[in-house]
Structure 1
Amino acid sequence: MSVVWLRSPVGLGRATAVLLGAVVAGQFFSLWAGGVTYGVYDDLAAGVDVVERAEDADRLTNLAAMIQTPLLIAAVVVYLCWFWRVRVNGEVFEPGGHAKARGWVIGAWFVPVVNLWFPRRLMVDVWNASAPLGRTVSPALVNVWWAAWILWLLAGRVGAAMVRHADTAAELRRLTGMTMVTDAVEAVAGVLAILVVLRVTRMQNEKALAGAWTAALPVRMG
């Protein structure tokens, strides 16, 4: 037996949205740096002297990586804390409405193959449990977000395969273009993730304030 408590997701939800927004901003900066790099390789393939511009492009690329890495780590940690919080709340709202064990809230993202669909299933269950009493809210937003996430994973795999064969200026240009596509898809997935976070947070907050399952009382789960 374990005891779960209904706790406000608002603070974590806002922090998650802000950090995800920062990650998206970092992706746009990376896109700009990628555009500069693409132009360098384009001119290099045409035989133009690009030594100084190449150095500038390298500096921009390195700066983009320096900006993105800490932001991404912070966003992942806070997002998982938020996801755990709303999952526990979801168990309070709908004790029997979750197909996967709570531990998968964390583990599902890191287990190969499983990470292609478990996180979506977990989020859909939380979404449904968070819906207002007596109402069904379509999880279409969750589905679109997850489709973008899977597309980003696939684009990343294509880019990783291209790295092994990128030797000439033309090949490096194509690799840079693929990297830009990956960054753009990640930015879209990030925006959709923000929308999901805000929507789930709002639904849970409104449901709790409406008095669905008295928030002051713990609920025992088997």
Structure 2
Amino acid sequence: MALGGEGWYADPQDARRLRWWDGTAWTAHTHDGVGSTAAHHSPLPRWWGGLTVALQVGLLLNVATSLYVLYVDQQILAFVEELRLRPDTVTEADGTRIDTLMLQSSVALLAWLGTGLLFIIWSYTVHHSARMDRSVLRHGSGWAIGGWFVPFLSFWRPFQMVLDVRRGATGDADLPTTRTLGWWWATFWASYAAGMVATFYYRALESTSDDEAGRVLDHFASAASWERGSELIAIVSALLAVAVVREVRSLVTAERA
């Protein structure tokens, strides 16, 4: 069998077990029981390192877009306050400006979707590779993709897949969860929840008649306030995600003893 990068491969001396190939030579590190399945997993591709860098850049881009959304929300709240206190001073151009800012801020959603796609490819690629010690993995690689789309299961399965990669990279079935990991996942869902509340208020605007000006302004202000909270938490989550990605990369690229 032709060998590529470092990873677990069937031991040439005993096909019933795996032996660690460091990229140039066999090591003394072995384990039993899954040699037949590991042979079907390819070495971790070299481009995974570049993908790791791209993922971190994407997360930092999300921070930048979230900062812009925060600016837009502040402008919305100032606009609403002006309408409440001095409605005669507000012009049609002011309303057009707010509409333009809101349209431009929608790029943040595209940034998050793009980064999410990078994260899925990144985690699936490493989990499916021969770099993983498959004896300590608890989930199939397909869950790195499907875990995001199954209702309710998506609340915890993507997080479990990151834990799985850490276990597979180290061969430690009991590798503890760090605070950074926990806070990353908690802030991710807190941001999502606040964003859903903001979406509820924005949609409520569509069912509010023009005769209910007070309610329109209340819904508009509530939507911007909740969105502001969501983006603040999202910034924290993105920065924690960068730390998580770096930690996983260091575990994956560390040499085996």
Given the two structures, how large is their TM-score scaled by the length of structure 1?
0.82
For residue 3 of structure 1, give the secondary structure of its aligned residue in structure 2: coil
Structure 1 pair 50–131 and aligned structure 2 pair: CA distance change class (3 A): farther
Q: Using CA pairs under 8 Å that are at least 6 residues apart, name the structure with larger relative contact order, 1 or 2.
A: 1
The equivalent residue for 2:159 is: 120
Per-residue CA deviation, residues 20-71 of structure 1 (Å, 9 max, x unaligned), is 2112211111111111111101111224332233322221221121x32443
Pairing partner for 1:193 from 230, 241, 248: 241
Counterpart-to-counterpart distance in 1, 2:176 and 2:145: 25
Please give the secondary structure, in 2, of the residue aligned with 1:4.
coil
Q: Of 45, 48, 62, which residue of structure 1 is paired with 2:103?
A: 62
* Alignment partners' CA distance in 2, 1:61 and 1:163: 12
C-alpha distance in 2 between matches for 1:122 and 1:138: 12
Distance between the aligned counterparts of 1:194 and 1:149, measured in 2?
Answer: 13
8 Å Cα contact 1:14/1:198 also seen in 2: no
- Tell me which residue corresponds to 2:13: none
Show structure 1 runs of 5+ residues with no match.
213-222
Question: Residue 136 and residue 72 in structure 1: after superposition, are their counterparts in 2 closer, same or farther (change >3 A)?
Answer: closer
- How do 1:5-16 and structure 2 match up within 5 A? 5-7=42-44, 8=46, 9-16=48-55
Corresponding residue SS for 2:226: helix
2:46 is the counterpart of 1:4: no
Give 1:71-90 correspondences, 5 Å limit. Answer: 71-89=111-129
Q: Deviations over 1:119-149 (max 9, x none)?
A: 1111112123334879945432211111011
Write the letter of the residue equivalent to 1:118. R
CA displacement 1:51-98 (0-9 Å, x = unmatched):
233322221221121x32443333222221111122124x64321222
Query: Is residue 98–residue 122 contact of structure 1 (8 Å, CA) maintained in 2?
Result: no
In the TM superposition, 1:42-191 aligns within 5 A as: 42-48=81-87, 49-51=89-91, 52-65=93-106, 67-89=107-129, 92-131=131-170, 136=175, 138-166=177-205, 167-191=215-239
Runs of 4+ off more than 6 Å: 132-135
Q: Would you say the 8 A contact 2:133–2:170 is kept in 1?
A: no
Whether contact under 8 Å (2:63, 2:235) holds in the other structure is yes
Structure index of larger Rg: 2
Conserved? CA contact 2:194–2:229, under 8 Å? yes
* Whole-angstrom distance in 2 between the partners of 1:133 and 1:92: 14
- Picking from 2, 14, 18, the partner of 2:57 is 18
Higher strand proportion, which one? 2
Q: Is the 8 A contact 2:163 2:177 kept in 1?
A: no
Q: Identity of counterpart residues, as a percentage?
A: 19
Q: CA RMSD in A?
A: 2.4
Flag structure 2 segments of 5+ consecutive residues without an equivalent. 1-36, 206-214
Residue 217 of structure 1 is matched in structure 2 by: none
- TM-score, normalised to structure 2, is 0.72
Q: 3-state DSSP class of the match of 2:40?
A: strand
